Amino acid sequence: MKLIATTLLSLSLAISAYAVEPVGSVKPVASKVDKKTSQSKLASDMRTMLSSIVSIQRAGFYNNKSGIKDATNKLVENLDTILATDPTTYLPDDKITAGKFAEKRVRMIKLYADDLLASLDTNNMNEAMEDYNQIVAQCTSCHSRIRQREWK
């Protein structure tokens, strides 16, 4: 349980949109307040995503399809915050390119979440739980890659 929580928290901090700036372009500097607000929203949404992952698992144990659907939708709703957060505000300089990796993990989580919901509609709980496992694997993959170094 602690591993899942750590993994999801790491995922939320690691995933964000990554944009390559043209050479010579000036990137506007965000204020400390904007960065703190952005990081706070990301951390909050990561906690929500962790709660969603736990809820999917709990509902799966009790074969509660509506609970799984609700938790999966809640997970997907909060993924966009990861893409909207600037990785330069929380990643060390040598890990900034991990934003691209995180973007792919978000796409994969959405794909597996859609598949999970489709599996539930066809009453295939085994396939739905496999999709759940793949979602957790995407979270873990990103978190383990990003967490190898200290945060800013």
What CATH number did the domain enclosing 110 receive?
Answer: 1.20.120.10
Look at residue 152 and tell me if it is in a domain: no
Tally of domains within the chain: 1
Look at residue 25 and tell me if it is in a domain: no
Kindly report the pTM of this predicted structure. 0.71
CB 140 within 8 A of CB 149: no
Look at residue 112 and tell me if it is in a domain: yes
The one-digit pLDDT tens for each residue of the chain (152 residues) are 555 655 544 544 444 333 333 444 444 444 555 667 777 888 888 899 999 999 999 999 999 999 999 999 999 999 988 888 777 777 777 766 777 888 899 999 999 999 999 999 999 999 999 999 999 999 998 888 776 655 44
Separation CA 10–CA 77 (nearest Å): 18
Look at residue 78 and tell me if it is in a domain: yes
Look at residue 128 and tell me if it is in a domain: yes
Burial of 42 per CB tally in 10 Å (0-12, 13-18, 19+): buried
Q: Which domain holds residue 114?
A: 34-146
Nearest 5°: the CA angle 98, 101, 105 is 135
